[in-house]
Amino acid sequence: MAMSNETANLTERDSSNFFLRFVKYFIPWKGDKSNEILRKIVFMGSIVLFSMSIDQLSDYLGASKEEQRSYIQDVVVKYEPQFDSNVSYGMEAGGDEYDAANPEAAGQKLSLQDWAKPLLKRNKDVVGWIKIPGFTDYSGEEYINFPVVQGEDNEEYLYLNLDREYYESGSIFADAWSVLDENGQTDNLTIFGHHMGYVGTSFTHLSEYEQGVDFLKKYPIIEFNSIYESGRKYAIVSCFIINTKEKDDGGDLWKYVGCRDLNEEDGSFADWYDQISKRSWYTSDIECTADDKYITLSTCSKLLSDLRWVVVAKKLTPRDNIDLIIKSYKEKPDKDVYFPKYWRDLYGNNKIYKGWEY
């Protein structure tokens, strides 16, 4: 009996080709039982809904990307300071006669600049403007060209735009516990911005400094002006990856954001400079002292969670020669760079660049 049943099953098998059997499995067919027809209809409906959802998600992401870019482009058109047209790479490249390392200049009160007044009417939390000149997209617009705000803490502007409305890219914002006023600014000012991946907004393109010293030589200058300044320029002195949790570096955590006041007497400048030097992917002959002013740009690393990509720059003074600075930039051998343990476990003691989307 068992043998005869097996033989019957063999003779009842569909002898049609594979493609036809595949189609019959998913599409209602003559001879199907009611439960089979229902299953196939539900399956086909699910496919249709899934396809529509993918299409709508794609449209949403595309629209979101363009909307975020459009918003900041409008801000740039309306408010970008126009003092950058005379960017000089000559000997007197500090911006003007002002010398940040001069104690007398440092003691002078600064005046609110005309370029900042319209921005302050829009948002009283605006404290400056940052730009990397010449670093542009296909349309000639700078990737990094933003107003800088300062909130009551370092979370307030994570997802708010200049109008204090929800904005996925957030704002570029200065460390809430740093000083930026008519008396000057904190010795080392940290400025934060999201890494937005494929959207490309905010500080996403800072990650391009991971690609090598040739890129650094091409874009060595950052323009940052508080609302009390015009024409100030900074030269990059260090680029590095760093952990934000102790567990990611064997229990060690250097709190780079907390390095605000630097001086020779208590050793804070020497400790800070040692940290940014040993971690840096590049070297240079830039003269850095405790009397100089610095900015630290911080964004997320997409290569590993909870790590940050950091770019440190020094405010230029008349004594700085940008041509010589650019010539002095060198790639540091991987073996000489300090990487967090979390990084070393995955990539070894090696620099990695996978593109600005990462």
Residue located via tokens 């399956």: 43
Q: Is 195 a catalytic residue?
A: no
Residues 290-319 have pLDDT tens digits of 999 999 999 999 999 999 999 999 999 999
The pLDDT of residue 87 is: 41
The pLDDT of residue 130 is: 98
Residues 124-135 have pLDDT tens digits of 999 999 999 999
Q: Read out DSSP for 109-159?
A: PP---GGGHHHHHH-TTEEEEEE-TT-B-TTS-BSSEEEEE--SSSSTTTT
The pLDDT of residue 229 is: 95
Domains of the chain: 18-79 (no CATH), 90-347 (2.40.260.10)
The pLDDT of residue 38 is: 77
Exactly one of 239, 259, 288, 300 is catalytic; name it: 300
Give yes or no for residue 98 having a pLDDT over 60: no
- The pair phi, psi for residue 235, each rounded to 5°, is -105, 135
Report the pLDDT averaged over residues 21-46.
Answer: 71
Give the C-alpha separation, 150 to 125, whole Å.
Answer: 6
pLDDT-based confidence at 69, cuts 50/70/90? Answer: confident
Q: Is 194 a catalytic residue?
A: yes
The pLDDT of residue 2 is: 44
Give yes or no for residue 193 having a pLDDT over 70: yes
Exactly one of 194, 195, 239, 259 is catalytic; name it: 194
Report the pLDDT averaged over residues 37-57.
Answer: 68
The pLDDT of residue 10 is: 38
Query: For residue 331, with 0-12 CB atoms within 10 Å meaning exposed, 13-18 middle and 19 or more buried, which class applies?
Result: middle
Report the pLDDT averaged over residues 167-173.
Answer: 96
Q: Give the number of other Cβ atoms within 10 Å of residue 51's Cβ.
A: 10
pLDDT-based confidence at 64, cuts 50/70/90? Answer: low
The pLDDT of residue 84 is: 46
